[in-house]
Chain A
Amino acid sequence: MVNYILRRLGYAVILTVLVSFVGFVIIKLPPGDFLTQKLEQLRARGDRSAEAQIEALRAKYGLDKPFMEQYTTWAVGFLKGDFGESFAYERPVRDLLGERLWLTVILSVATLIVVWALAIPLGVYSAVRQYSLGDQIITTISFIGLGMPGFLLALLILYFAIVVLNQDVLGLFSPQYQDAPWSIGKVLDLLQHLWVPAIISAVTGAGGLIRIMRGNLLDTLGQPFIEAARARGLKNRDVIWKHGVRMAINPLIVILGSEALPGIISGNALVSIVLNLPTIGPLFVQALRQLDMYLAGTCLVIFTILLMLGNLLSDLMLAWLDPRIRLE
């Protein structure tokens, strides 16, 4: 077990280093950089000292150094929590991320919880009552959810909220609560905004998971150990949950790491952009558009690290749940 965890951890560390390097390369790929763009702007404005200003900035940000040196400086800083400077905001990337990182994590975890809390019971119901009316309804809805991309659903909900309800659902808070201290009013306001991402994640994320849970459980319920458990005199409910669901959930944990989590991270990034949620997603797009290199690079690497942490957790969870892996 310890061995397994150590192996996974070591693997994650190596991967992070690689990812950060490749991430840096990708971010450096676009021809020109933020400063060349700025230089053109300054020149267009007829600023005489443009060249000198830019050269000074270039030196300040270390952009005149060779590539490898730029990377190592950034990577070493990364370890210390210094992610470099944002050119566009002229502030440290760290300050910009701040709360957004937490909101991203919270939103991802909340999405995950909503999705699982919905998908597992519905999937179980669907499998146990196979071909019933309830199963057919759940199957239809999950099928629609499966094909529904979150950001398009977000646009549709936005349309519904603006045109039909005439309600402002953008962001997480109404303007009057934006910087207000926490109060009951602020919480209610938050909830009023939170239903939109919640519905989106429920519909888009749960659909696929319901299908998988249903399929897994149907397979599991056909296994001999289910019949054996029933022959021991267990209640049907216990047979289904303690033996059926308990076994059917293991493959779901694997999917959590390999498919559900990347989907949630990618999907939430897009949904956040539509709904203007203060997560990393919108910041990342903006940074990419402006060639704000350190900011974009940091966002990409953080997305990847989040994914990797999630994967690690799902690996550990699987090991905890399944003795066949734990005792390997």
Chain B
Amino acid sequence: MESISKDLFIEVKDLHVEFDVRAGIVKAVDGMFLEIRRGQTVGVIGESGCGKSVTARAIMNMIPKPGKITGGEILYHRRNRETGEVQTIDITKLDPDGEIIRQIRGGEIGMIFQEPMSSLTPVYTAGQHIYEAVSLHRLIPVKKLGDQMVETIVAHRKVTKEEAREIAVEMLRKVGIPKPEQRVDSYPHQLSGGQRQRVMIAIALSCQPEMLIADEPTTALDVSIEAQILDVMRDLQNTVNMAIMFITHNLGVVAEMAEEIVVMYMGKQVERARVVDLFYKPKHPYTQALLRSIPRIGKKSDVRLATIEGMVPDPFHLPTGCVFHPRCPMFMPGKCDKIEPSNIQVDDHHWARCLLYEEVKV
């Protein structure tokens, strides 16, 4: 078996996404790099508007209007489930309503969203949602006893309604919904927020995807529910071995979930490291500032929590040089406002995009 580091699943390379709004062009993602390996959980953190959700949607090739992928590629190393052959597809080149991307969406990459309250269509039951997904993506192998008394798969057929219902009940049970046989016929308005997010997870997992994109799945939930949902996700990941791209602005959550963390700022990856390295040895001043802003139990209560100076820049007038320089406590005049830093490996499996670690001529 190949080593894990080579078992790549998704590679985002120099991705650019622009939104052409009336007031101008917003570069929502501006040269983003991201790697996700099979079975790996990658946390993507950053302030709202930094481009994390847009990156996730780009992977699904469903950037909402008026957004457009304007550069870079998203390589998807697609593995055939039967033969195990790996084929590389550039997702950005696919027709956004084409056959291939529709197989990928839901079937190979599932996604759950920030707003469980409104992510289910109100007129369909939980079961109908699951049936819809399963009937699109799950094929039941038709087996036949061959010459050497070995079962061979001769064809695939679609799931029947009864089978889909069984799958639905099974999935609802897996995500921890009580009385799944009854809940399968519940409409969204009859479910609580936490239950709805569990249903969303059940829908996403019902097609056995190889990766799950979780876009702030617990932001809208109470803290106690949040913990339950995270438990569900971790348990499931252990049993089905899928990759997770976990998007959040909550550092605590990401520390619990992820193996590796990517920090984003203004559409760029500014730091990438293993969880432990990132929390104990943050390199980028932005990451450092973010970490200082976490409240900690046991600290003196009269000390004010650190904030990051300044405001997120106006998206129409991005700062020159390093986009973080107007807010950076380590700002080096004449350098940071002139030169755009590149992605530098600062340590073993640790990258940062900062001129502090880069030898450049002024």
Contacts and interface: CB of A to CB of B under 8 A. Distances in A.
Nearest to B213: A231
Interface string B129-142: 00011001100000
Interface residues of B, number: 30
Contacts of A46: none
Given A233-B103, A234-B132, A236-B97, A228 B119 contact: yes
Interface in B80-136: 97, 102-107, 110-111, 113-115, 118-123, 132-133, 136
B106 A233 contact: yes
B97 A243 contact: no
Contacts of B110: 231
B187 interface: yes
A322 interface: yes
B60 interface: yes
A239 to B, nearest CB: 9
Interface in A258-272: none
Interface in A219-247: 223-225, 227-236, 243, 246-247
A232 B189 contact: no
A232 B64 contact: no
Contacts of B136: 232-234
A225 B122 CA distance: 9
Q: Looking at A228, A234, A236, A323, which has the most chain B CB atoms within 10 Å of its CB?
A: A228
Q: DSSP majority for the A interface? A: helix
A233 B209 CA distance: 12
Given A246-B121, A324-B122, A233 B104 contact: yes
- Size class of the contact patch on chain A: 20 to 34
A233 B104 CA distance: 7
A11 B269 CA distance: 63
A224 B106 contact: no
A223 B122 CA distance: 11
Contact of A233 (B123, B133, B190): B133
Contacts, number: 73
Interface in B127-184: 132-133, 136-137
A138 interface: no
Contacts of A225: 118-122
A247 B133 CA distance: 19
Given A323-B187, A323-B189, A327-B187, A233 B120 contact: no
A281 B123 CA distance: 40
Contact of B133 (A224, A232, A323, A327): A232
A321 interface: yes
Interface centre among B102, B115, B121, B133 (most CB of A within 10 A): B121
B118 A224 contact: yes
A230 B190 contact: no
B62 interface: yes
Interface string B42-82: 00000000000000000010101000000000000000000
A243 B121 contact: yes
A227 B137 contact: no
A235 B135 CA distance: 13
Interface in A186-245: 223-225, 227-236, 243
Interface in A72-128: none
B114 to A, nearest CB: 8
Contact of B105 (A231, A322, A327): A231
A299 B48 CA distance: 62
A234 B97 CA distance: 9
B121 A231 contact: no
Given A223-B118, A324-B187, A231 B123 contact: no
B105 A228 contact: no
Contacts of B62: 227, 230-231
Nearest to A321: B123
A324 B191 CA distance: 12
B122 A232 contact: no
B105 A227 contact: no
Contacts of B107: 233
A107 to B, nearest CB: 32
Nearest to B120: A225
Contacts of B106: 231-234
B211 interface: no
B203 A227 contact: no
B121 A232 contact: no
Greatest chain B CB density within 10 A among A225, A236, A250, A324 is at A225
Interface string B8-21: 00000000000000
13 contacts: A224-B113, A224-B114, A227-B113, A228-B119, A229-B132, A231-B106, A232-B106, A232-B133, A233-B103, A233-B104, A243-B121, A324-B187, A324-B189
Interface of B: 60, 62, 64, 97, 102-107, 110-111, 113-115, 118-123, 132-133, 136-137, 187, 189-190, 200, 203
Q: Which 4 A-B pairs have the closest CB atoms?
A: A233-B106, A232-B106, A233-B105, A231-B111
Given A225-B120, A233-B105, 15 more contacts: A224-B115, A224-B119, A225-B122, A228-B120, A231-B60, A231-B105, A231-B111, A232-B133, A233-B102, A233-B103, A234-B106, A235-B102, A236-B97, A322-B123, A323-B122
